[in-house]
Structure 1
Amino acid sequence: MESLVDPIQTMPTARSPAGRWIDRSLAWITEVPAAAIVVAEIFILGGGAFARYALHEPLTWTDELASILFLWLAMLGACIALRRTAHMHLTTFVKGMAPDRRAWIDALGMCLVVAFLVMLCPPAWEHWQEEMAVTTPVLGISEGWRAGAVCAGAILMLVTAVARLVDTASWKQIAVTGGAVAIGGAALWMLSPVLANLGNLNLVIFFLLMLVGCIVIGVPIAFAFGLATMCYLSFSTTTPMSIMPNRMQEGMSHLILLAVPLFVFLGSLIEMTGLARAMINFLVSLIGHVRGGLQYVLLGAMYIVSGISGAKAADMAAVAPALFPEMKKRGSKDGDLIGLLSASGAMSETIPPSIVLITVGSVTGVSITSLFIGGLMPAVVGLVLMAGVVWWQTRLEDMTGVTRATRREIGKLLLVSLPALALPVIIRTAVVEGVATATEVSTIGIFYTLIAGIFIYRQFDWRRLYPMLLDTASLSGAILLIVGCATAMAWALTQSGFAQDLVKIMTAVPGGKMGFLLVSALAFVVLGSLLEGIPAIVLFGPLLFPIAKLVGVNEVHYAMVVIFAMGLGLFAPPFGVGFYAACAIGRVSPDVAMPRVWPHMAALFLALLLLVFVPWFSVGFL
């Protein structure tokens, strides 16, 4: 199952000797530097934090160097993700097609990806040339080192896309679909004088018909955003095309986003070093003997682990395999387990340091510290309501043969789990108390986990380190390319006047502040199911958060409602792709799980309403 959050990444198989040579060359060109940059970022930011807080001698160049390397990591990671077929895309509408028809659709989708990259390369080159003459304020080097990342990434992705197209499609498919894309582009070019006079009708043509059409046929969301924006700017406006790589670079250059790859890597380390299992074993010893005890453990473990890794797929993959076998022995139905796992993934979206929280702070300017403080209680509301569902479903659970852990066993497991349980406390405390930024604290977590894994748990497989670095780069590139392309699209929508029209519509919603919150919540449930959280928030966050402030809604309160709603949409069938990821991780058919997931979704929907009507849950501890 391919999905927006599927942790399984597929590697293409080149069919020809030339294709295999190109594939290996691309691997060396992109993977080795990307892995090296992840390691370099850890030491640069970790060293900067140590120098500032321990030695009281701040290194002024660390943030600037880290931001330049970060842009290279984003573009190289996007190339790796494209080679691995790991970019976020929607398969809901194409997964049931016959193989022959699916092959034609996939060939068309890859031709559209190629078309976007062909359009991007010239302005990216132009943008790089323009930036060569500008110097950075601290290091005093050319800004071309930063802008060159977008140019080099576009070229490498173009080569990768062409190589994948040649290796996965027949020449007939390439000729027909490529010809169709070329004819469509030529038609738009010839119609550009007409399109230029259509005004905001172009928004419907490019950002509704073209964008939705691309997403429906499975074009990766980042490339769908980019293609729609490039076509809109090229064929209906006189805007210089160099604005596209400029906006993409700006969107991906926020230093706070560097927390994304670092927390992704931290999540992998937690699983590999045994910290996650130590937490789970302790929780099982506490309440595993009561009816529904393992379900409560799953909820608690998702709450704790989500506060560390920030990636939902990694959270579910770390928790579910350790608990599901015993839960099934106790009589739990497969569908109920997947429903609980999906709902817990949605519930934990607001738990810091969630990647979505970090993205919200980056694109809207809301304080990361406030978001981290405000995100804990909304998840507790969801957890309590889901615990009620668990109590009802397991009230008759057969506990024959289940033994209660002794105090000595609990104490022993507590001692073993203390280093693991301390990690989320360290992370949250460091950010809330201002000891480190959200980005820097991820490096603290990484060094802490390395030490704990090597010297305390003595569980560290050095052979897995390089693949983990590559997985980090790939997932980060997939996320950050969406951020870059969505930033460019949001800019285009703002320049078109759409933002002003949206303000008028949303401020006219009946019911004032509560009406606006309810409409926003329902809208983001839908957006979460179709676009996933990060694309939706990057695209609509800059437009809607100012409106929320205008109608009197606290920004942190609004952020919690929006994030919780997106999580609900992401994990709710039939379109929520997080639900299918949970099915893949739990090895349960979606047909079996779908009828059993609704009680958990209902609990989350009630939690969402409580968050809307009771702002205290979001802002009570600020």
Structure 2
Amino acid sequence: MANILFTLFIIFVVLNVPIGIAIGLSTFGAILASQKVPLFLVAQRLFTGLDSFPLLAIPLFMIAGSLMESGGISKRLINFASNIVGPIPGGLAMVTVLACMFFAAISGSAPATVVAIGSIMVPAMIEAGYDKDFAVGLIAASGMIGVLIPPSIPFVTYGITMNASIGKLFLAGIVPGVLFGLSFMIISYFYAKKRGYKGTAKPTWKSFLTSFKEAIWALGMPAIILGGIYGGVFTPTEAAAVACVYSLIVGFFIYRELTLQNMFKSFANAGVSSAMVGLIIAAATAMGWVLTTEQVPTNVATAISSIAHSKFMLLLLINLILLITGCLMELNAAIIILGPIFLPLIMQYNIDIIHFGVIMVVNLTIGLLTPPLGVNLFVANGLQKDLTLSQVVKASLPFMIFAIIDLMILTYVPNLSLYLTHLLK
């Protein structure tokens, strides 16, 4: 049955069938062809995949991020970031990265981060004399930070799949997100020196304080979310609901840029995105059940153990597998399918499940920047349609190389990502 499933899945992917439908149809086809189990189990497993209270955090965080985006949050974060790093050579590029880091702490979505920040910063960089390909490549790469800094939708998916603490995963994602941001700023600085990109005018204390005052309500949302979770006030799912209410209050009564029209538009956008993710999670859960029934996780673990004779080699091999997978499969689906497969191996080698969550999410996040799936590439390319996809890929290559270097550091120096989680003990 597993052979049929993989064959059908590859065929559907080659035919460019949407990933959620491809996973579902290949699972259904494999069960139908094998005649080993009744077909009603497909529907049962699809329902089981979504029957989870913690999973409710995903659509709620999407709604909160969409509301904050519509409520004028992007320009305030960009203005605040500009007052911090703008005067440095390549200042606008650094503002883009820093603004993505701020917005990541609100949205939890990489494509949303690309659109919210890129729609403002890409035209601004081009007008200031930055090369188009560099500007688009930068925002495509910086958007990856959107799924690392909490709240992070993939970390929620991983926590549910692997029965790991979502709160600890959120904490563990902070350092990787900051590391990615600093790396991209370093690249931007050297590009600026080489190509003559100037910084912005030096801000005054008054302008800095004004920009901070305007952005403080936006910056307060992650503080409330994380503080509430780690303070034991509410669960991650309840934190997502609080974030929605907070977004409505800030958008309507403080920034006063959220209207009924764009509020309903935000609900609709979040609903479509949630439905897409929900379909992928449900279908991936069904596929994961088939693979487990066929003992694929056990067989894969045995095969990898025969090759990898040390923790170092095991992690290197897993990184290679995940990097390739990230190029071909949607992030959440890959977590649900591959997480249980790797679980016996990480238990055998005493790898911390939170640390492995960081490794897995960072690996698959890099896939957002790599063809043929490369969601961030396509979204960023849509901001400057006169560029070809190959130009965007070429421009994003230096950022991808640094991202892989960061991945290796995070893989073999676990205390970097686990340090903040140890503070909770």
TM range (shorter): over 0.9
Q: 1:621 aligns to what SS in structure 2? A: helix
Q: Map Cα deviations across residues 46-90 of structure 1 (whole Å, 9 max, x no partner).
A: xxxxxxxxxxxxxxxxxxxxxxxxxxxxxxxxxxxxxxxxxxxxx
Q: Corresponding residue for 1:508? A: 306
The structure-2 alpha-carbon separation of the partners of 1:312 and 1:402, relative to structure 1 and needing over 3 Å to count, comes to: closer
Q: 1:346 aligns with which of 141, 144, 151?
A: 144
1:248 to 46, 49, 60: 46
1:520-577 deviation line (CA, Å, top 9, x unaligned): 1111111111112011111111221232122221111111111111111221245523
- Counterpart of 1:285 in structure 2 is 83
Change (3 A) 1:236 1:421: same
Post-superposition offset of 1:243: 1.3
Alignment of 1:321-470 (within 5 A): 321-396=119-194, 398=196, 402-470=200-268
2:294 paired residue among 484, 490, 496 = 496
The CA deviation at 1:275 is 2.0
- Which residue is 1:298 aligned to? 96
Q: CA deviation at 1:366?
A: 0.8
Report the equivalent of 1:555.
353
Q: Would you say 1:596 and 2:419 are equivalent positions?
A: no
- Are 2:420 and 1:621 equivalent residues in the alignment? yes
Equivalent-residue separation in structure 1 for 2:92 and 2:195 (angstroms) = 11
Task: Measure, in 2, the Cα distance between the counterparts of 1:333 and 1:569.
Answer: 24
- CA 1:395–1:511 in structure 2 vs 1: closer, same or farther (change >3 Å)? farther
Partners in 2 of 1:285 and 1:383 — Cα distance? Answer: 17
Equivalent residues of 1:514, 1:612 under 8 A apart? no
Contact kept, 8 Å, 2:122 with 2:139, in 1: the verdict is no
User: How far apart in 2 are the matches of 1:586 and 1:516?
Assistant: 41
Cα distance 1:577–1:447, how it changes in 2: closer, same or farther (>3 A)? closer
String of CA shifts for 1:153-178, please: whole Å, max 9, x gaps: xxxxxxxxxxxxxxxxxxxxxxxxxx
Q: Deviations over 1:313-336 (max 9, x none)?
A: 111111112212221233211121
Taking structure 2 as the reference length, the TM-score comes to 0.94
1:575 to 1:313, Cα distance in 2 relative to 1, 3 A: closer
Equivalent-residue separation in structure 2 for 1:458 and 1:293 (angstroms)? 29
Per-residue deviation, residues 130-151 of structure 1 (Å, max 9, x unmatched): xxxxxxxxxxxxxxxxxxxxxx
- Secondary structure of 1:508's aligned partner: helix
CA distance in 1, matches of 2:297, 2:233: 37
Q: Which has the larger radius of gyration?
A: 1
Q: How far is 1:586 from its partner?
A: 4.4
Residue ranges of structure 2 left out of the alignment (5+ in a row): none
Establish whether residue 307 from structure 1 lines up as the match of residue 307 from structure 2: no
* Deviations 1:99-123, CA, capped at 9 Å, x for gaps: xxxxxxxxxxxxxxxxxxxxxxxxx
Mapping of 1:194-205 within 5 angstroms?
Answer: 202-204=1-3
Gaps of 5+ in 1: 1-201
Contact 1:308 1:424 in 2 (8 A): yes
- Aligned-CA RMSD value: 1.8
TM-score when normalising by structure 1: 0.65
Residues 397 and 421 of structure 1: is their aligned pair in 2 closer, same or farther, counting only changes over 3 Å? farther
Q: What is the SS of the residue equivalent to 1:436?
A: coil
Instruction: Please give the per-residue CA displacement for 1:337-381, whole angstroms capped at 9, x wherever unaligned.
Output: 222112212244222111111100111101111101111111222
**Deviation readout 1:474-533 (Å, 9 max, x if unpaired):** 211111111111111111111112121012012223242121111111111111111120
Q: Does 1:520 align with 2:322?
A: no
In 2, Cα distance between the equivalents of 1:435 and 1:547? Answer: 35
Question: Alignment identity in percent?
Answer: 28
* Aligned equivalents of 1:397, 1:563: Cα separation in 2: 33
Closer, same or farther in 2 for the Cα pair 1:400/1:564, shift >3 Å?
closer
Residues 86-97 of structure 1 correspond to what in structure 2 (within 5 A)? none
Structure 1: distance between partners of 2:220 and 2:129:
33
The 3 A distance-change label for structure 1 pair 319 and 229 is same
Higher relative contact order (CA 8 A, sep 6+): 2
Q: Distance in 2 between matches of 1:271 and 1:370?
A: 26
Compared with structure 1, are the counterparts of its residues 348 and 521 closer, same or farther at alpha carbon in structure 2 (3 Å cutoff)?
farther
Residue 606 of structure 1 and its aligned partner are, at CA, apart by 0.6
Structure 2 Cα separation of the partners of residues 612 and 334 of structure 1: 33
Q: Is the 8 A contact 1:525 1:570 kept in 2?
A: no
**Alpha-carbon distance between aligned partners in 2 of 1:347 and 1:268, rounded to the nearest angstrom:** 17
Structure 1 contact 331–397 (Cα < 8 Å) conserved: no
Partner of 1:227: 25
Answer with 362-371 or 329-338: which moved more: 329-338
